[in-house]
Amino acid sequence: MSLLIKNGLIVTSDTQYKADIYVEQEKIKAIGVNLNFKAEEVIDASGKYILPGAIDSHTHLCMPYMGTYAKDDYKTGSIAAACGGVTCILDFNTQRNGETLYEALERKKSLAKGNTAVDFSLHPSITEPKDKIIKEIKTAITDYGTPSFKVYMTYDFRVDDSVILKLLAETKKYGGMLQVHAENFNIIEYFNNTFEKQKKLSIPYHPKSRPNIAEAEALSRVAKLAEITGGNLYIVHLSSKEGLEEVKRAKDKGVNIIAETCPQYLILDESRYFEPEFNGAKYVMSPPLRDKQSGEALWEGIRSGYISTIGTDHCPFDFNGIKDMFGKNDYRKIPNGAPGIETLMMLIHSEGVAKGKITLQQMVKILSVNTAKIFGLKNKGSICPGKDADIVIFNPKIKFNISYKKLHMNVDYNPYEGFDIIGMPETVYVRGKKAAQFKNDRVEFVGEIGRGRFIKREPSF
């Protein structure tokens, strides 16, 4: 399969220029002005941006959670990804009781096998940090191709500081990285117990039980653990202004700390929890949506470079029958999570670039270039000869009104329902093959299920 894309505006992390791109055998072969390769498909991309496919650094496909399952599996989740311009997914792989990291990896890979439309990799999520698991980190980095590991500081499967110290030290030895969900468990428990006694268990108490300071405290502590060990620390889903201040403090001191945020913390805010008829349950996620000042601070964090990546924390649960049934009278029982994989690129463009909050270059940097570098995806993340032809032809003029009915995520609502979007992924290529096409009023999946590959990643540090 060969492809010639003519006259598009190629966007990199620091510039943009008009040129043609020639693609052959899944790779970008050449970039130049007036290329005259003979190709099976020739596209005129005048007036459109040529972007590297987005890499979603944070998804929870098929994840068992709070008595149910995240509703997107590899098939529906990767179709949605392709339609949103996400050409590679980094999915969490939570270790089950008694499993080695290898067993967990093989279990999750088997769910993906033959079912995936875009490429993917896995972050082992360590819940049983026994000695033999800590020893396995070396092999996971050098053989399995999974150099990023996740731990939680809250929930039943949390780990304590002594484990975090060991994991930071061990991952660092082989150039790996520790990803941390940073929220202080005891602060959350204190508020949960207080609100229970006061019979304050309606939805607005969900954000009150997990205040900004619970994130900031955990984050400042884990940053110090990274400082002590010299380890490579990655903060997942940074959500608050106070948390960002801790990231800045640590980074300015020379700590190896990388921060990721999510569209929901940039765009939505805690007023959503007051929506009538239990609708606030749609936004119950952890960390919760924050105050408006936090959202503005996070955009500034992207502009200043303290925030390096954006992931979606895609973890959808239906509203009807799941969110509105579990925990009707108790916010603590509402499955935490929301859909996001398909709306990532359109939202960051429409709410970020089109509104002047970030530049097109900054968008490419946080959605693709940085993510590929940080996570060791050496063939992905930019429009350059030799890289995989994961390409989005992005039309900045297309208008789209968000409705869950027009999206592919397997869930019955969308947190951004009714948003007017400007600019959409018009045509999406996964390793040189068309996977999605905007037609009439929506993006259609035209790719191939099963084409997505597990990508072995390399350590980046």
Binding positions for ligand DUC, rule: CB under 6 A:
60, 181, 285-286, 313, 315, 336-337
User: Which of ligand DUC, Zn ion, none binds 285 (CB below 5-8 Å, type-dependent)?
Assistant: ligand DUC
Min dist CB 36 to ligand DUC, Å, is 50
Nearer to Zn ion, 181 or 431 (CB): 181
Min dist CB 29 to ligand DUC, Å, is 40
Min dist CB 425 to Zn ion, Å, is 23
Nearer to ligand DUC, 59 or 382 (CB): 59
Nearer to ligand DUC, 65 or 419 (CB): 65
Min dist CB 11 to ligand DUC, Å, is 31
The span from the CA of 94 to the CA of 56, in Å, is 17
The span from the CA of 396 to the CA of 346, in Å, is 10
Min dist CB 286 to Zn ion, Å, is 6
For residue 292 the two structure tokens come to 């408006």
Residue labelled with tokens 């050496």: 378
Q: Do residues 290 and 239 touch, judged by C-beta distance below 8 A? A: yes
User: Which of ligand DUC, Zn ion, none binds 381 (CB below 5-8 Å, type-dependent)?
Assistant: none
Residue by residue, what is the 3-state secondary structure of 285-297? CCCCCCCHHHHHH
Min dist CB 357 to ligand DUC, Å, is 24
Q: Is 313 left (phi over 0), alpha (psi -120 to 50) or beta?
A: left
Nearer to ligand DUC, 240 or 382 (CB): 240
Chain residue at closest Cβ approach to Zn ion: 181
* Helix ranges (DSSP H) in 68-184: 74-83, 101-112, 131-139, 161-173
Query: Given strand 233-238, what is the order of strands in its sheet?
Result: 54-59, 86-94, 119-125, 148-152, 177-181, 233-238, 257-261, 309-310
Nearer to ligand DUC, 141 or 315 (CB): 315
User: Which of ligand DUC, Zn ion, none binds 83 (CB below 5-8 Å, type-dependent)?
Assistant: none
Q: 3-class SS at 46?
A: coil
Nearer to ligand DUC, 177 or 285 (CB): 285
Q: Angle at CA 371, nearest 5°, toward 366 and 377?
A: 150
Binding region for Zn ion (CB under 5 A)? 181, 313
Nearer to ligand DUC, 286 or 308 (CB): 286
User: Which of ligand DUC, Zn ion, none binds 336 (CB below 5-8 Å, type-dependent)?
Assistant: ligand DUC
The span from the CA of 178 to the CA of 308, in Å, is 15
Min dist CB 181 to Zn ion, Å, is 4
